[in-house]
Structure 1
C-alpha cells in the first residue's frame, strides 16, 4: 500500500493524469463545437437541396412523364395524328361489334403500335358501353367478363374521368392507370365508353431514379389517400413506418418542410402544390451527405493546431520522465528476446515492436499448427473438443469432401483453393501428401443445391489449374453439426470407390450413388466363353463392348458392377482351364484384373488376354475340316427351330455322322448335342427378354423343342429357374434400368 501511495504521488503519475484530463476536456469542447456546427450546416445544405430535388421530381413526374401519357391517350381519342383510329372509335361508340370486326382489328392494331412506341406502357384498353365489349392492344372481348381486367372495368364510372389511379393487375404488376370518358371533351354528355392506359410503376421508378443521385436516398410519392405510389432505393424494414410518422408531423405545414428523423433528414412537399393531389417526400441519411462549406475548414485547422501545440509541449515534458521506466522495460525484454544485428537498429520502440512481432509470429504459428491438428482430428473422428471446433458459425450445416491428389500436392492445392473467390466459407485440411479433406459450410436455405454447388466449384477449380494441379474428389452428405463431419467424410470416402466406374478424374457425390440399384445384371457369359473357344475375335470384342457399355451406362451399385466383372474374369478363367492354357495365361494374372483402378482399364486388360487366347486357338487349330465344322455351326445357329441331328449334318457335309461328331468335338471343344442344347436355351433366354408378348410355349417351338415340359426342364437345369421366372426377373431388371 505504501509503495502504491508513493507511486500515485510521483510526478510521472500526476503528469499522465493531468495530460489525460486536459486532452479529454479540450477534445470534448472542440469536438462538441465542431459536431454541432457540422450538423447545423449539413441540415441547412440538405434542406436547400431537398427543396430543389422534390420540386424537380414533381415537375418531371407530373408535367413531363405523366403528361406525355395523358396526351397520348387524348390523341388516341380525338387527335388528327390518329385520325383513322379516332373515326373507328367514334363509330364503335354507337355500334355493336357485329359486322365491325375489321374496324375493331384496325383500332386494336393502332393501340398495339402505340404501346410499342411508348416506353413504359403496359396496356391500353377501351370499354364500349353500348355494345358491352372491350378492346385492348392484343385482344377483343365480346364479353368483358372474359377479360382479366374485368373487375376494374366494372368499377368504371364518370368519377374516374381524367385522373390517375394506382392499382395492381391480376398478374401482380403494379401500374398507374389513367382513365378518359368517351366521347372525349364532352363533359355533360352521358358516357358511351371509357379508354384507359396502364403505365408500369417500375418504369416510373426507373425514370425517377435518374434524378436521385445517391443510392442511399429514398424517395416516396404518396397518393391523396396517403398510399405509397412508388419508392426509389432499397426500402428496409421499418423505413415506411418512420416516413409516415415524419409525414404526419409535417402534414400541417405549407410548401417544403424539413426535419431530422434519427440519423436522416426528412423533407416533404405538401399535396397542395401538386396538380394530382400527390405529396412527395425524400429521406436522406446524414452520413452520406458531404458538405461543401469551405469556411468550416479554417475553424478545423485552427482548433487542431492549438490542440497539436498543447499536446507537443505536454508530450515533451512527459517523455523526459518516461524514459527511465522504458529503459528498465527494455532491459527486461532483453532477458527473454535476443535480437540479431539488423533487428537492433532503430529506437527503443522499434526494438519492443520487433520483440512483440517475433512473439506474435510464434503465437500465430502455434495457433495455426494447433488448428491444423484439431481440424485433422475432427475430420478423422478424433475430436478433442478443442477451441476451433466450438467456433463454427451458428445455424450452419456442413459437407465434407475427400480430395485425392494424383501428384501428392495437397499443400499447393490448399494454398490455391483458399485464394479462389467463393461465396461460401470453406476450409481445406491436409491429411497427408496425397489426401485432403474439404469442409464446406452450408446455410440452412441452401441445402437442396449445396452438393451441386460444391461439385461445380471443384470442377471449375480443376479446369482453371489443369496444368499444375491434378486431383479427383468425392462429396459426402450434408450434416447438421460439426461433430457429424467425420460421418460426412466417411460417406465421401465410400463414394470415392466409385471412381472404378466413373474414372479417376470424376467428382462423385454420395447422394448420387445412393440412388443406384443393388440388383445384379443378368448376362449370358457362355457366349463369351464359346467365342473364345471357337477363336472368334469379332464375337469376343462385340461381347466385351456390349458388356462395358451396359456396366457404364447402367444404374447399379459398385458391388453389382464388381460382381459382374468377377463373373467375367471367372468366365475367362473357365475358358483357360477348359482349353488347358494355364501356361499361356496364368490364372493368377486373371484375378489381378480386379485390382485395376477403373472399369475401362479392367475391360481392356481382359480384352488383351482374350486376344491372346483367340490368337492361340487360331494358331493351333490346323484341322483339315475346321472350315466345314464352322459352316455346320453356322447352319445350326440359323436352323435351331428345326430338327437337327448328325444325319442332317452328314448330308450337308457328305461325311459320316460318326466322323462329324468327332470333328465337331475337336474343333468346338464340346459335343454336337451339348452345343445344340446350349444354343437353343441361350436363344430362348434371349427371346424371353426381348419378346414379352410371345408365350413360353411358342418360344419352346421357335428354338426346336416340340414338348414344352421337356423345354421347361432343360431350361431350369441350365439357368436354375423356370422360363417364366427368368422373364419376370428380366422385366424387373429392365424396369430398374
Structure 2
C-alpha cells in the first residue's frame, strides 16, 4: 500500500528522522544567514570606514593646506604678483623687499593687507610677515626689528636652527600684558614657498585661536552622530568638534595617545585615524561615528528581497529534508529485517519502542563486543605463548615489533582477584604502554613496551607505577596486597621469554620481605652466598625444653637470614634444614611417648614471607620445647640434670668426668650415663663436646680473646685439636665462624 503524507508522519520513527533533517536544515540556513549577515556587516563597515577615511582626507587637506593657503595666496596675489622676476635672479618675495624694503608706504601697504585678511577671517588672531635679510617683522598693526623681546623671536630662532619644521601647524601658548594666556595654533610658510635652509628669504606666520579649530571641524561634519578630532601627541594638543564634551575629549585623548593605528572598531563605534605617518608631521585627524547596521545601510526593497530569499531557501531545505527522510527510511527498514533474521539474539527486547538507529547501534555494538572479546582472547593466548618462549617470530602479535624494548613483570595477588586488579591498573596514568596477560585468578604477567633506553630508568619508572597499586593490607598489617617481580630489559622481541623467566625468579624473591613486595631481577641475580649454621644447639635446647635457648637460636637464625648476599635457594635450604630438625625431634619424642598429633608433625611451615615463616617456626619450636619441658618436669631427674647442666656450664674449663657428676647427683655412674642417653639423645662424652663447642661459639661471637684463649676457656689445652673438633662439627674454623658473624652484624 502506498503511503500518504499523513500516514508517514503518523510513524514515530519517520517523524524523528524528518525532524533531525529539518533541524539540520534550519541550523544550516541560520548559519548561512549569519555568514551572509556577517559579510554584509563587514562590507557596510568597510564602506563606512572608506567613506570616513575619505572624509578625513578632505578635513586634513582643508586644515593643513586649503585654510592656511587662503592667507598665503591672498598675500601672493595682492602683494607679490606686481614684482618683476623675469630675470630669474631673485624670487618675488626677495625682489619685493629689495625694491620696497625701505619704502614706508609699501610697508604700510603690507600691514594694511594683513589687517584686512585678519578681519576677513574670524578666529584669526594675527598674520605677520618676516623679512629675513633686514630682520624686519610686519604684522597688521606695526612693523619692527626683531630682537630678543619680540613676540616671535623664539619661533624664528628655532626655525633658523632647524629644530622647528615649517609648513605645518604649531601649538603654542601666548601671554599678554594683563597676564592672560591664549592657546594658539601657528602655521608657518617659508618664502620662497617650500624653501629650506639658506634658500629661505622670509616667513609668514598665521596665528588662529584654538576655539577656531572647533568651528572649522563643526563646519566639516556630515552627520549629527559624527565627531571629528585634531590631535598632536608630542605637543599635547587635542581639539574636537562642538558635539564632544570635555570628559569625552579626555577619553579620546587617552585612546589616541596610545596606539591610534590599532583603533578601528571600539564600543560599537567606528574610529578612523589619518595622519601621523609623514616624517616631522605628528598631526592626527580622527573620526568617531556609530557603526551602521547593514539593513539600515540598504534600501527597504533590498532588505525585503533578502528576507524573501532566506524564507525560500528555508522552505526548499524542508522539502529536501522530507525527500531524504523518505529515501533513508526504507533502507533502514530493510537493514533491520536482515539484522533480525541473522542476529536475533542481539536484538533489544523492546525494539518496537526504540529508534531504528539505536537498534542498529545496539546490534553492531554487540557484534563489535564479541569480535573484540574473541580478538582479545586470541591476543592473550599469543602473548602467553610469547612469554613462554613457544611462539615463532612469524607468529608474533602485530603489536610486537622485533626491534622494540620490553620488560616483563610477574604479579602475584594476595587480596584482589585478577579482574579487579586489572581494572585498578588500567586507571593509572602510565608513561609506557602495557599489555596484561591473566595466567590465573591470582597471577598476572605485564608486558611493558619501554620507551627508555636505560634499563635502570625503565625499572624505576615501572616500580614507581606499581607502588601506587600496592597499599598495605588492612588485615595483614604490613603485608602488601600483591607481590611483583620485574625482569631485565629485553632489547629484542626474542628476549621477551628471558625477561619473563627473570621476572619469575624476582617474584620468588618477594618471599624475602626485606626487599619489599616489588623486586627487580637486576638487584638479586648476583646473590650466591650460602649460610653456615650449627643446628645441634637448637636440637639440644628442644630436647632439654630450654625455652630461652630456643628463643636465642631463633633470633640469631632470623638475623642471619636477613643478609643481603644470601640467595633465595640458600634461605629455603636453611628453612628446610630447620624444618627437618623439628620433624626429627618430634618423631624421636613420639617414638618414646605420643606427644604430638600427626597434623602438627606434617604441617607445612612456609608462609607468604620470610618474616611470617620465621614467626611460625618460632611458634613451632616453642610449642615443641614447651611439650618437652612439661614432660621433663614430671620426671625426678629433671632437677638433677638441670643441676648437672649448671655445673657443667660453670666448669667447662675443668676436666669433668662422669664420676664427678655421679658424686654431685648422688647417682651411679651407669645409671647417670643411661639417663644422659635417654634425656639428651647422646652420650655423656658427646654432650660434653657439644657443650664446650657451643660455649666456644658464644665466646667467638661476643669476646675479643684469641682462639687459643677461648680453647683453654672451654677445656681444650691443645688449640689445634680444638680447631679440628670445631670444624668437624660446624664445617668452618673458629676464625671463619667469628668473621662470618661480624659480617652478618655489619649488614
What's the counterpart of residue 498 of structure 1?
509
Cα contact 1:426–1:438 (8 A) shared by 2: yes
Tell me whether 1:510 sits opposite 2:538 in the alignment.
no
Partner of 2:468: 460
Which of 543, 559, 574 in structure 2 is aligned with 1:533? 543
1:335 aligned partner? 338
Q: Contact 2:418–2:444 (CA<8 Å) still a contact in 1?
A: yes
In structure 2, distance between residues paired with 1:308 and 1:700: 118
Instruction: Give the superposition deviation at 1:676.
Output: 1.5
1-side partners of 2:434 and 2:700: how far apart? 54
Query: Is 1:584–2:595 an aligned residue pair?
Result: yes
Q: 1:628 aligns with which of 622, 637, 640?
A: 640
Superposed displacement of residue 421, structure 1: 4.9
Contact 1:479 / 1:488 at 8 angstroms: preserved in 2? yes
Question: Over residues 502-545 of structure 1, what are the superposed CA-to-partner deviations in whole Å (9 max), with x where a residue is unaligned?
Answer: 29x96222336516633222222111100111121232233223
* TM-aligned CA distance change 1:319 to 1:675, over 3 Å: same
Alignment gaps of 5+ in structure 1:
1-22, 45-253, 259-292
For residues 204-241 of structure 1, what are the alpha-carbon distances to aligned partners after superposition, in whole Å with 9 as ceiling and x for unaligned? Answer: xxxxxxxxxxxxxxxxxxxxxxxxxxxxxxxxxxxxxx
Q: Which residue of 1 aligns with 2:118?
A: none
Q: Is the 8 A contact 1:378 1:483 kept in 2?
A: no
For residue 415 of structure 1, the aligned residue among 407, 420, 423 is: 423
Are the structure 2 counterparts of residues 726 and 352 from structure 1 closer, same or farther at C-alpha, using a change threshold of 3 Å?
closer
Q: Which of 633, 643, 656 matches 2:655?
A: 643
Question: Residue 712 of structure 1: which of 701, 710, 723 is its match?
Answer: 723
- Which residue of 2 is the match for residue 683 of structure 1? 695
Distance 1:473 1:297 in 2: 76
Question: What is the CA-CA distance between 1:632 and the residue it aligns to?
Answer: 2.1
SS of equivalent to 1:593: coil
Matches of 1:340 and 1:675 in 2, distance apart?
Answer: 85
SS of match in other structure, 2:595:
coil
Contact 1:712 1:723 (8 Å CA) reproduced: yes
Alpha-carbon distance in structure 2 between the residues aligned to 1:576 and 1:298: 111
- Cα separation, 1, equivalents of 2:366 and 2:405: 32
The 8 Å contact of residues 330 and 352 in structure 1, kept in 2 or not, is answered as no
Alpha-carbon distance between aligned partners in 1 of 2:743 and 2:32, rounded to the nearest angstrom = 86
Residues 661, 671 of structure 1: 8 Å contact kept: yes
Q: Report the RMSD for the aligned CA atoms in angstroms.
A: 5.2
Q: Deviations over 1:310-368 (max 9, x none)?
A: 3751562585388457625642552234556843457xxx5256325522441243124
What displacement does 1:476 show?
1.7
Where structure 2 has 5 or more consecutive residues not aligned to the other structure, the ranges are 1-27, 50-257, 263-290, 298-302, 342-346
The aligned runs of 1:261-272 (5 Å cut-off) are none
1:371 maps to which residue?
Answer: 376
The match for 1:355 among 356, 360, 363 is 360
Secondary structure (helix, strand or coil) at the match of 1:519 reads coil
Q: 1:633 to 1:334 in 2, by over 3 A?
A: same
The more displaced of 355-364 and 468-477 is 468-477
Note closer, same or farther for the CA distance 1:481–1:344 as it changes in structure 2 (3 Å cut): farther
Please state how far the C-alpha of 1:482 moved relative to its aligned partner: 5.8
CA gap 1:560/1:414 in 2 versus in 1, 3 angstroms? same
The offset of 1:585, in angstroms, is 3.8
CA distance in 2, matches of 1:362, 1:608: 59
Going from structure 1 to structure 2, the CA distance change for 1:696 and 1:306 (only over 3 Å counts) comes to: farther
Q: How many residues align?
A: 463
Distance 1:485 1:361 in 2: 35
* Mean Cα deviation higher: 494-503 or 579-588: 579-588
Residue 340 and residue 502 in structure 1: after superposition, are their counterparts in 2 closer, same or farther (change >3 A)?
Answer: closer
Compute the displacement of 1:674 (Å).
Answer: 1.5
SS at match of 2:574: helix
Q: Distance in 2 between matches of 1:303 and 1:396?
A: 64
Please state how far the C-alpha of 1:626 moved relative to its aligned partner: 3.0
TM superposition shift of 1:615: 1.8
Q: Counterparts of 2:475 and 2:655 in 1: how far apart (Å)?
A: 66
Query: CA offset at residue 717 of structure 1?
Result: 3.1
Counterparts in 2 of 1:302-317, with a 5 A limit? Answer: 310=313, 313=316, 316-317=319-320
- Residues 642-664 of structure 1 show CA distances to partners (whole Å, capped at 9, x for unaligned) of 33223544565566655554554
Identify the residue that residue 95 of structure 2 maps to in structure 1.
none
Following superposition, the deviation at residue 565 of structure 1 comes to 0.8
Alpha-carbon distance, 1:570 to partner: 2.0
1:716 is displaced (CA, Å) by 3.5
Change (3 A) 1:311 1:654: same
2:512 is paired with a residue of what secondary structure? helix
Task: Give the corresponding residue for 1:697.
Answer: 708
8 Å contact from structure 2 (residues 542, 624) kept in 1: no
- SS for the counterpart of 2:540 is helix
2:41–2:293 contact (8 Å) kept in structure 1: no
Does the 8 Å CA contact 2:433/2:449 hold for their aligned counterparts?
yes
* Aligned residue number for residue 452 of structure 2: 444
Alignment partner, residue 582 of structure 2: 572
> Structure 2 vs 1, CA of residues 304 and 395 (structure 1 numbering), >3 Å: closer, same or farther?
farther
Secondary structure at the aligned position of 1:443 is classed as: coil
Maintained 8 Å contact 1:395/1:444: no
Q: What is the alpha-carbon distance in structure 1 between the residues aligned to residue 296 and residue 400 of structure 2? A: 51
